[in-house]
Structure formats: C-alpha cells, structure tokens
Amino acid sequence: MAIVSMPFSLPALNSRNLRRVNRKSGMAFATVSKETIALGVKITEGEGNLPKVVLTSASGSEAEIYLFGGCVTSWKTSNGKDLLFVRPDAVFNKKKPISGGIPHCFPQFGPGPMQQHGFARNMDWSIADSANVEGNPVITLELKDGPYSRAMWDFSFQALYKVILDTKSILTELTVKNTDNKPFSFSTALHTYFSASVTGASVKGLKGCKTLNKEPDPANPVEGKEERDVITFPGFVDCIYLDAPNELYLDNGLGDTISIQNTNWSDAVLWNPHLQMETCYKDFVCVENAKIGTVQLEPEQSWTAKQHLSIS
C-alpha cells in the first residue's frame, strides 16, 4: 500500500468546513491554505463558489465531491464521459440539496417526521482524511451533529464517508457511529442519479424481490413481487425492492453497462419522475442502494455499508 502526499495551496475560500485531521500525527489544521493533500486529491471552488474535492486517478478517471451535502456530483472514466447526472435545475447556494450525483438520505429515507430524506444532504461535511493508494485517490468526509441536525433529530453521531476512485470504478463506504449515551435508529440511502437515455435504460438483477410500488399513488405503495428479468422505465417509476441482491446491472442506454455492487445496503430503489420533471427526465434514471428498514445502534456501535460502481 503506497501512500503519497503532496502540498497544495488553495485560493481564498471560506475554510470553516475544510478542516482536515492528520490521523497519524493527531494534528488538526484550521485552514487549508497550507494543507497537505494526497496526490490526486485537490480542493477547489465549484459551482456557487462552494468548496469541492476533485479526485484524479493515475489512469485519468475523475470524480468530484461537494462538501455541502457530501455529494459526489461527477464520476468520469478516462474517456471523459460522465456516468452521473446533475439536474439542470440544481442549485449550489446551500438553500436546498444538490439535485443530482449521489446525494445522501440520512437519517431518514423519504418522508417522515423530519424533512424529506433527512438532513445530511443539507449540511457541510468536513475532510477527515485523504490518501493515495497505488494511484487511486481516497478522501474521507465527516459529518457530526450540530444545532441544525439536533433540531430535527436530537442525537449525537458521527458519519464517515470514504470515496475511492479507481480506473473504472468508484467505491463509497458510509459508516455511522452512535456517539450519544442513548440508542438511536435511522434509515438511509444513496440517491444515485445515473446519466441515461430513459427510453433505452434497463436494470437487471431484481427478479423475485418483494416490491413496494409507488406508481400510481406514491402515498399508498402497493406490495408485490418483481416478475421481470429486465426492468425498463416506460413512464413514472418509483419502486422499492426489499432484500435486493448485492449486485445489479444498469444498461444506461448510452452504450454503458454499470455494475452496482453493495455490501450491507439491503434494499434498492428505482426512480424516474417522467413528466413531473419534463425538462430532464429523459436524461437520467435513479438506481439507489438503500436501507429502508431502520438500523438500531446502541451507544458506541457503528454501521457500515459500501457501494461499488464499475464499468467493464
């Protein structure tokens, strides 16, 4: 395992949320202007002057992650083709979550007692660690509770989100730890938007799963069982698949087949809004790894789930 670091000087940014902890030395840096960032990992200004992390592998693949929401907004292989999708109505002003890429749903998936999909996609994450392992850049982001989260969910927690970029893949690892003195429970998902031609897109691997279908009435999902080998997107699609397998295959209709592997994400969600989002629904599909049922954590307990996206 080769870990290489290089110095990086950042233009003027608000560095309040760019703190990085050097785990080996235990040192914390209050600013990033003199930061040491791993080879292939840099911090720059993104849309709306929001700080983002750019990962670049030795092979030329690239990923972008915004600290606001801890949101991966781009994943390009060495040919420069972006396999993720950001909606044209996405805003980068912190007034709402970034619409596209891989947003977090935590600690609530969907509607419920707090705001839609929880608060993790509405908060600033910080940089906990960075590295380069044999040419593959690695970044770990951290989210902790604060007044904003506690107003909705009164618990102390730590979430770590590691992103590893390889030549033809991107791996994410989410770890949630209960740092409170009382137990809590949560549900969560990665709301992944893939670039696609919706008329040609299809998903394999879900046959036999129990389904909760929100079409035609999202407020009253209908239980069923998936009988199809290949699932397409002929119109409005919003369906939860319980106890999904650990690998699905997305044909994005653009010439790419994407393997979507997971560890400990027990469920999957397919979504396309169709005419509810007339300006862009033809250009993406969502295939989401999720934990629909609640995860219960006692104090000091942790839960970890991984998602591995790759193309052949």
Query: Which are the catalytic amino acids?
Result: 191, 288
Token pair recorded at residue 26: 């235990």
- Bridge partners, residue 49, by sequence: none
Q: Which helix (H) or strand (E) holds 21?
A: strand 20-22
The pairing of beta strand 247-251 with beta strand 202-204 = antiparallel
- Bridge partners, residue 212, by sequence: 223, 240
Positive or negative CA dihedral for 269, 274, 279, 285? positive
**Rounded Cα gap, residues 104 and 28, in angstroms:** 26
For 117-180, give the DSSP string.
TBSGGGSB-EEEEEEEETTEEEEEEEEE--HHHHTTS---EEEEEEEEE-SSEEEEEEEEEE-S
Q: What angle do CA 60, 66, 71 make, to 5 degrees?
A: 95
